[in-house]
Each structure stands twice: as C-alpha cells, then as structure tokens.
Structure 1
Amino acid sequence: MAGLVLALVLAAPACAGAAEAAPDAAAAPAGTRNGREIYQRFREGLADPTCKADASARWRAHFAHAPRQMASSSDDVLPLFGYVVDSLRAAHLPTEFALIPFVESGYKPGARSPQGPAGLWQMIAITARNHKVPMRAGYDGRLSPIDSTTAAVRYLKTLHGMFAGDWRLAVMAYNAGEYRVLGALKRGGQTARNATPETLPGLSPITHAYVRKLHALSCLLEQADDREEWLQAMDRPVPLLASATVPDNVTDVTTWARRNGQDAARLQRLNPAFVGGRISRTAANPAHLLAIAAAPPAAGAVDTGNAEVVATPDAPEKAADAPVIPAEATIADPEPVPTEAARSATARRHTVVRGDNPSKIAARYGIRVAELLQRNDLHANSRLKPGQILLIDAALAAGEAPRAAAGTP
C-alpha cells in the first residue's frame, strides 16, 4: 500500500466570549493566522463539496473525532493540516487529498506501523526512495512533514494527471498502486474520463473504501460549521508553518529554537526525523525544520537572524493563492516604505461562513453595520453566501494604519 500520512496541529481554545473578540487572520499575531482561514482554504479547494445526508454513514461515525481534533487546544493537528492544505493548493490539487493523513496516521508526523510504513503519509521505504525522500543513518525523511509532504504532493499530482483529474481514481491509485487501477479500468471497459470508480472490478474492498473514507471526512468538515461552538473554537490564532533552513553551525533543534525565539518541544514534535533533536545533514541534503513562519525572537534570545523561513511550504509548484510568509527581518533592517499596492493589501477582508450575518460580522471587527453594508454595496436584508468576500476597511490613505479588530491589542 502506497499510503502516505499527514499530521494535524494546535488548536487554541476558544475564548469564552463572543466570536467578535477572536482575532481575524489579517490581524493575527506575527507567525500565526486565523484557524477559520485554514478551514476556508480547505473548503474552497474541494473537488466535490456536495454531501448527501446518508453519505458514508459508517465512516462518518468512524472519523467523528476529526473536527474535535482540529478544535482541540492540546493537539498539533490544525497547523499541520494548514501546511498540507497550502501545499496542495499551491500544486492546484483537490484538498480532499489533505484528508489522507487522517486515514493513514491520524496526522502524527512520528507515526510508525509495525508493517514498516512511517510518518504523516505512512510511506514504506521503497516508496519513499522512489519519490526522492532522503533516508540515511540518523535521518528518516518519512518522519519529516516537509520531505514527506513534498513527495506525497508530487506523487498525487502525477496520479491526478494520469487519471484525468478524477480525485477518486487518484486516491484509489495512491492506496493500491496506479497499475492496479489502470488494469481495473481496462477490465471494466472504462476510461479515466468516464469512469464510475465504485464499479471497478478486481480492486480490494479496502481500496474501494478509501474513497468513501475521504468523502466521509470531507462531509464531516464541510458541515462542522453548522455548530457555533466549533466555529468559535476555530476562530483563533494558529501557528503558520513553513520550511526553515538550518545554518551549518547549528547541530540541534534546541539551539535553533533558542536563536529564533521558538518553542523547542513543539519543534521536536513537528520534526521527529531529527532523532533526539540532533540535526543531521549532508552536502546534497541541507537541514531544514518545519517551524513557525516569521516568528519574532523571544525576549532574551541570543544569536538571532541566522535562519531564513521559506515563503511557502516545500511543494512541487508555487501558486499565487499560496500565502506569502515574509522572511524574518533583523534589527538592522530599515522599515520598508509601503507602496500603494501594499497599503491596499492591509485592508481587512472577511470570508463569509455559515451562520454569519452583517450584525455579527460588524461587531466582530468593531465597525458599524451601516459601514459594512455601504462598503460592500449591500442593503439591510441582503443574504450573505458562504465563501463571499466582504471588505471590512475602507481604502486606506497613504501612511494610514489599519485599525485593529475589536478586542485585539
């Protein structure tokens, strides 16, 4: 089984207050983004967002814990899920693929199976080597969310193209191997463009169930925002993860964390490929960590400024819709003069989700309902649609700073 696995991270607790007190993605602290932004990017990338009431009832019950993991403050799931979603969106792939690690490893980067598969994507050694995942003494790249996700996305992109963009056939091939699925298409007299995957002959029940599992997970997350308490739990700052190159003079995770103001225990959880926190590297494979992007050094930290956080996750392709994560600036760097485009980009926007209304959105951002309606050419009885983008701030004049969201410093 060519299984690959993901790992989910960190869900901060919902504030006991109302949703308007939670920070918006645009106003989130440095190195974070709003959990609802991750959720929205996942939903926008789904190839099949439709769900029937009885769709995959067995597997919906089996994976009912997944939304709770994303909302839990004691789990590392949501930041990792966001990293994988970003990698898939950058490669123009359906975000159903971001659910594979739930099935394979429960989103645990260090997961190992007695049968041999390891990591977020539960790769076996031969699959990892075939997809250029570095494996050597002291370093198993299958346990690196960076190396394994890069390989998984590359492989899924190949399968997605091979099977005419049908995500169901691609995940069946991911589970059983592409040649088995090609053989099933031939035996069934079907082609990838007109296939009905559930009728393909000669494939195991496990392979057929793989599609149902992912669709059940997709439906669980697609409908999770029907519950207000779940939305409030997602409405929080979540670490924004990216690949960081480790300088040659740093030999352990703790030293890198101290120099860059990050939590060493969290970095070790996110990077179990470095056994005991010891950083292994070769000339062909420089060391990199999955770390919080653009996080400022902690007070009292020493030797800062010697690591660069890459702008986007290591994915086969970059795309305009991937988030731009600025590299950490040193104290000596002059403050850039904002361009007109940059000033425009600071204006906050809100993506509508189920349960939103003008009054609730206006209260969240500390503006009047009339302002919100006027800026978006709406009237008092306008119906808001999930996915609709609303402008929160008016166009900013040169030198004017955007207002902070209500309830934020």
Structure 2
Amino acid sequence: MHFITPVLFIFLKLKERYFPVIEKILKENGIPEDFKYLCVAESSLQNLKSPAGAEGMWQFLAATARSYGLEVNGDIDERYHLEKATRAACQYLKDAKAKFGSWTAAAASYNCGVGGYSNFSSYQGSSYYYDLLLPEETNRYVFRIIALKLILENPVHYGFNLSPSDTYKPFKTKKIKVEQPISNLASWAAQQGSSYKMVRLVNPWITGKTLPNKSGKTYYIEIPID
C-alpha cells in the first residue's frame, strides 16, 4: 500500500466511523491505542479480501480466525464483524507480545506470522525487533504503521484539510437479539422496518440470504435507525 493523496483522504474520512469502535476494544484489552493504525495498514479500514485469502479489516485467514473464536462458514463470516474481529486481533496481539516480549515485535508478527517471527528470532538468537534481519515487507510494515499515526493524527500539518462534514459518521443502529433461524433475511429485515440492503450494509458478517443458526447461538443484528 502506497500513501498516495486520494488513499489518505479515504483514511481520514473513514477513521471517524470506525476508530471509536476499535479504540474502545483496544482499551478494554489493555492494547496500546496506536494499534488502530495497524488495522489501517492491513486493510485501509475497508472489508477487503487479499490474494492470500485474508479477509476483513483485520485481515484474518480463515483458519486463524477460527482459532481465535470467530465463526467462518458459508453463512457467517465474523472476520467482517468489526467488534468481534477486533477482539480476536487483541487476543492475537496479546499472545504475540507475551511470546516475543514487546508490542513492536507483536506488530511485526502480525505481518509475517507468529511462526515466521519465531523462526527469524530462533535463528538469529533474539526476539528484539530492532536486532533482527526481517523480510523487507515486514520492516516496511512497522514503519508504515508509524507513518500512518503521524499523518492521521496531524492531517493539517501534512496538507490534508477536511471539515467535519467531509467525514463518514458512525452508523446509527439498534441491536436486535436473534436466537432462532432466519429463513429469509429480506423478509426479516422488512419486519424490522428496514431492508435487506441496509441490513447487509451494517452487518457485513452475514454473508448469505439466510441465518440458519443450527447450533442455537445468540446473534445481535444491527438495524439502521434515523
């Protein structure tokens, strides 16, 4: 990802919508707030799918997502559930910090994987990030996060002037508790006074037209409100 002007404007517009959610969960988990910029580096605060199969704002592979408690199947993909995916990312980062001893190493491992960082650390006899010869992509990754922090915290200093009206505001929603299957999501949305399009927009983790819920789980589906 290169920091060209149009891309940075998108970051500045999106951060007002998503940073409050991310910041709250990072704080609850004792993760430094600056890790919200890792999310920007991963996905540009957009629900992307990488060529390698990583998905969502935190760019989890399916197997990794499941190992951190996210549901990923043909109907549900919680890599696209910002709150749950952020909590999973927090647990990943805490595990990595405990293993490697620093938040910088944890951030680097998010790029090259815990296994990859372990291999570099074992071979070179140190887990200290600044002592290691790492792949170029991983080296750039950490400094990209730092650059994003500098720019997004001081946009005017770097020539970006946005008024509050230019930013994307958080969706106003209410949460509906769902414990039963939904056989037709469009009909269900209409019963809630909404539409299939809007329900899918604010609940990107629902990937199909139904919610089978064969295991009887409890879900909270967001419904837009005026």
TM over 0.5: yes
Instruction: Specify the alignment match of 1:136 in structure 2.
Output: 73
Q: How does 1:370-385 map to 2 (within 5 A)?
A: none
- Aligned residue pairs, count: 224
Question: Quick one: which of 210, 215, 226 aligns to 1:278?
Answer: 210
Residues 67 and 224 of structure 1 are in contact (CA less than 8 Å); yes or no, is this contact kept in structure 2? no
Tell me the amino acid that sits aligned with residue 119 of structure 1.
G
> 1:112 aligns to what SS in structure 2?
coil
In the alignment, the residues of structure 2 paired with residue 257 and residue 157 of structure 1 have an alpha-carbon distance, to the nearest angstrom, of 41
Tell me the amino acid that sits aligned with residue 3 of structure 2.
H
> 2:44 aligns to what SS in structure 1?
coil
In the alignment, the residues of structure 1 paired with residue 221 and residue 86 of structure 2 have an alpha-carbon distance, to the nearest angstrom, of 13
Tell me the amino acid that sits aligned with residue 58 of structure 2.
W
Larger helix fraction of residues: 2
In the alignment, the residues of structure 2 paired with residue 188 and residue 208 of structure 1 have an alpha-carbon distance, to the nearest angstrom, of 16
* Residue 253 (structure 1) shift: 6.4
Question: Quick one: which of 107, 124, 136 aligns to 2:61?
Answer: 124
* Residue 272 (structure 1) shift: 2.2
Residues 11 and 40 of structure 2 are in contact (CA less than 8 Å); yes or no, is this contact kept in structure 1? no
Label 1:162 to 1:247 Cα distance change in 2 as closer, same or farther (>3 A): same
Label 1:227 to 1:241 Cα distance change in 2 as closer, same or farther (>3 A): farther
Gaps of 5+ in 1: 1-58, 299-409
* Residue 266 (structure 1) shift: 4.3
User: Would you say 1:62 and 2:24 are equivalent positions?
Assistant: no
Instruction: Specify the alignment match of 1:170 in structure 2.
Output: 106
In the alignment, the residues of structure 1 paired with residue 82 and residue 186 of structure 2 have an alpha-carbon distance, to the nearest angstrom, of 15
Instruction: Specify the alignment match of 1:219 in structure 2.
Output: 150
Instruction: Specify the alignment match of 2:37 in structure 1.
Output: 99
- Post-superposition CA distance 1:51-98 (Å, at most 9, x none): xxxxxxxx7x625445522554xxx55322321122112212122321
Q: How does 1:48-87 map to 2 (within 5 A)?
A: 62=3, 64-65=5-6, 67-72=8-13, 78-87=16-25
Q: How does 1:153-168 map to 2 (within 5 A)?
A: 153-164=90-101, 166-168=102-104
In the alignment, the residues of structure 2 paired with residue 206 and residue 89 of structure 1 have an alpha-carbon distance, to the nearest angstrom, of 28
Instruction: Specify the alignment match of 1:38 in structure 2.
Output: none
In the alignment, the residues of structure 2 paired with residue 265 and residue 153 of structure 1 have an alpha-carbon distance, to the nearest angstrom, of 30
Q: How does 1:8-407 map to 2 (within 5 A)?
A: 62=3, 64-65=5-6, 67-72=8-13, 78-109=16-47, 111-164=48-101, 166-191=102-127, 195=128, 197-201=129-133, 203-226=134-157, 230=161, 232-233=163-164, 238-239=169-170, 244-248=175-179, 251=182, 252=185, 255-256=188-189, 259=192, 265-283=197-215, 285-290=217-222
CA RMSD of aligned residues (A): 3.4
- Post-superposition CA distance 1:323-381 (Å, at most 9, x none): xxxxxxxxxxxxxxxxxxxxxxxxxxxxxxxxxxxxxxxxxxxxxxxxxxxxxxxxxxx
Residues 159 and 170 of structure 1 are in contact (CA less than 8 Å); yes or no, is this contact kept in structure 2? yes
* Residue 279 (structure 1) shift: 3.2
In the alignment, the residues of structure 2 paired with residue 258 and residue 135 of structure 1 have an alpha-carbon distance, to the nearest angstrom, of 27
Residues 16 and 167 of structure 2 are in contact (CA less than 8 Å); yes or no, is this contact kept in structure 1? no
Label 1:186 to 1:247 Cα distance change in 2 as closer, same or farther (>3 A): closer
Label 1:205 to 1:175 Cα distance change in 2 as closer, same or farther (>3 A): same
> 1:119 aligns to what SS in structure 2?
coil
In the alignment, the residues of structure 2 paired with residue 227 and residue 103 of structure 1 have an alpha-carbon distance, to the nearest angstrom, of 18
Label 1:262 to 1:137 Cα distance change in 2 as closer, same or farther (>3 A): closer
In the alignment, the residues of structure 1 paired with residue 83 and residue 24 of structure 2 have an alpha-carbon distance, to the nearest angstrom, of 12
Residues 246 and 289 of structure 1 are in contact (CA less than 8 Å); yes or no, is this contact kept in structure 2? yes
In the alignment, the residues of structure 2 paired with residue 63 and residue 99 of structure 1 have an alpha-carbon distance, to the nearest angstrom, of 17
* Residue 262 (structure 1) shift: 6.4
Label 1:264 to 1:177 Cα distance change in 2 as closer, same or farther (>3 A): same
In the alignment, the residues of structure 1 paired with residue 122 and residue 180 of structure 2 have an alpha-carbon distance, to the nearest angstrom, of 55
Once the two structures are aligned, what percentage of the paired residues are identical? 21
In the alignment, the residues of structure 2 paired with residue 81 and residue 90 of structure 1 have an alpha-carbon distance, to the nearest angstrom, of 14
Tell me the amino acid that sits aligned with residue 216 of structure 1.
A
Structure index of larger Rg: 1
- Give the TM-score taking structure 2 as reference length: 0.78
- Give the TM-score taking structure 1 as reference length: 0.46
In the alignment, the residues of structure 1 paired with residue 114 and residue 126 of structure 2 have an alpha-carbon distance, to the nearest angstrom, of 15
